């Protein structure tokens, strides 16, 4: 089982500049230009990552396996 995570890269001003899935290496889409607050960029990218994970890695997520 591969555990997926979202990894951010930051510029020298600590602004998030990109994000990618650690399981497959796919980069998340670039955030809209109107997002300037780092927290807003992280939230937006996280939402895109959740969509990506549900589409491409749902079988890898341990929490989806029913427990006794």
pLDDT higher than threshold 70 for residue 12: yes
pLDDT higher than threshold 60 for residue 1: no
Token pair 């997926």 is found at 4
Q: How confident is residue 67, by pLDDT bands cut at 50, 70 and 90?
A: very low
CA distances from 30 to 14, 20, 49, 60, 61 (A): 16, 11, 12, 25, 25
Tell me the residue range of the domain where 43 lies: 6-64
Q: Count structural domains, the chain.
A: 1
Higher pLDDT, 43 or 63: 43
| Residue 20 belongs to a domain | yes
Interatomic CA distance for residues 68 and 58, integer angstroms: 20
Q: What digits encode the pLDDT tens for the residues 15-48?
A: 999 999 998 999 999 999 999 999 999 999 999 9
**So what's the pLDDT on residue 57?**
86
| Residue 38 belongs to a domain | yes
């Amino acid at each position: 089982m591969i555990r997926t995570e979202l990894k951010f890269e930051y510029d020298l001003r600590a602004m998030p500049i990109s994000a990618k899935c650690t399981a497959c290496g796919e980069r998340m889409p670039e955030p809209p230009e109107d997002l300037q607050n780092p927290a807003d960029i992280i939230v937006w990218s996280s939402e895109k990552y959740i969509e990506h994970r549900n589409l491409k890695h749902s079988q890898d997520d341990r929490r989806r396996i029913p427990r006794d």
